[in-house]
Amino acid sequence: MPKVVITGGGTGGHLYPMLSIADALVKAGVALSDIRLIGSSRGEDQRILAGCPYRVSYWPGRGIRRSLSPRDIAANLRALAGISWAFALGIVTAVVWRPSVVVSVGGYASLPMSIGAVLTRRTLVLVELDARAGLAQRLVKRFAAARCTSFADSDPRAVLTGVPLRSGLSLTTEERRQVAKASLLPEISPARKVVLVMTGSLGAKRVNDAVVELAEIWADRTDLALVQITGRRDFARVKAREVRGTLDYRIIEFADMTKFWPIADVAICRAGATTVAELGVVAVPAVLVPLPNSPSDHQNENARALVAEGAARVIDDSKVSGMTLAKMLESILDTTTLGSMAEAMRKRGRPNAAADIAKIVIESSGQ
């Protein structure tokens, strides 16, 4: 069995897929001691990877700011110094530890080890989570032995695997939805359709404020439930504006999405790779509000791909409001439209992505 380095990080959107791939490799027979994770000394890496059973290294580095202000120039110089040291570590690790395969999930933290693999002729496998790969992946793309993609690609090295996700997610059937609604305290009435809002662990101010406006518009509804998972940053502000009425309106700071995705008939979300992949596995249609100015515009690319497949609708962040959400959701919430969008979302779900990627990694190693 191969020795494998999995590199990436900086955000949960990279770190959770890294862990999923590592777990799948162990299930496929790779020894724990033959797997090494390399992330960033900044960001969420040390919190998310703490306590995992794998050897973990946190290397210096940070993203480059796209600005010429004196403060950003100084920050970029410090970033370049850290990245230069990380590049040296990438080469040393490839030479000394001698991995059979280096797996990159992208993000600025992945580049030093990917370059180390290229320079020392180690097999490089890319896991591309978004419709448009980030700069770190594009720089080493030509050297990759295989590319595991989440969207269709004509490159003969590309295999459509999907995004490796946490365990516990599965297709939402109507029976499972009703069981999930009944499991909440208090339970949600079986007669109410559920609109679920989830914009990440920190939240999204513009989207959360628009959802409060939506709750005001829907205050007298008896046929709907609106469950708003605000994220830690926005919870207190949203809770202070809580709307009272016959609408079943719930405001939650943060939640285990394996418990909450199954209650949803439709979701309001950003368009990050992990989010849209989870929506596919659980087959929940969505109104997507892509994060503006996301690196390589990847969230807009993700959203456009889902819209083209009939699985989602999109609202620009600058135009999101209670009224625009209400109008769009009214056009979705009839049974026929919901059913067709859910089926389109189901078709793009890849529940076995982590296992499929692990198989490609082992095959690429030649062992």
pLDDT in tens, 305-331: 999 999 999 999 999 999 999 999 999
Residues 87 and 53 in one domain: yes
Q: By residue range, what is the domain housing residue 271?
A: 174-347
Tell me the pTM.
Answer: 0.89
Whether 217 and 307 map to the same domain: the answer is yes
pLDDT tens column, 79-94 = 666 678 889 999 999 9
Domain count across the chain: 2
- Domain membership of residue 218 (yes or no) is yes
Residue 337 — very low, low, confident or very high, per pLDDT cuts 50/70/90?
very high
Higher pLDDT, 202 or 79: 202
187 and 121 belong to one structural domain: no
Residue 169 lies in a domain: no
- pLDDT-derived band at 292 (thresholds 50, 70, 90) equals very high
pLDDT at 356: 98
Q: How far is CA 252 from the centre of its chain?
A: 20
Say if 16 falls within a structural domain.
Answer: yes
**Pair (43, 145) in one structural domain:** yes
> Do 268 and 195 belong together in one domain?
yes
Q: Which two tokens stand for residue 151?
A: 């969207």
Do 57 and 124 fall into the same domain?
A: yes
Examine the domain organization and report whether 214 and 316 are in the same domain: yes
Same domain for 106 and 197? no
Mean pLDDT of 109-129: 96
One domain, residues 79 and 109:
yes
The pLDDT of residue 79 is 66
What pLDDT, on a 0 to 100 scale, did the predictor assign at position 61? 65
Q: Are the C-beta atoms of 219 and 242 separated by less than 8 Å? A: no
Would you state the pLDDT for residue 85? 81
Same domain membership, residue 356 and residue 289: no
Per-residue pLDDT band for 11 (boundaries 50, 70, 90) equals: confident
Classify residue 98: in a domain, yes or no: yes
Least confident of 58-67, 97-106, 206-215: 58-67
Domain match, 267 and 330 both: yes
Q: What is the domain-level CATH number for residue 151?
A: 3.40.50.2000
287 inside domain: yes
Q: What is the mean pLDDT of residues 249-265?
A: 94
* CA 146 to each of CA 23, 116, 171, 229, 244: distance values in angstroms, whole numbers, following the listed order: 20, 17, 29, 37, 53
Q: Are residues 105 and 137 in the same domain?
A: yes
pLDDT tier, 224 (very low <50, low <70, confident <90, very high otherwise): very high
Residue 303 lies in a domain: yes
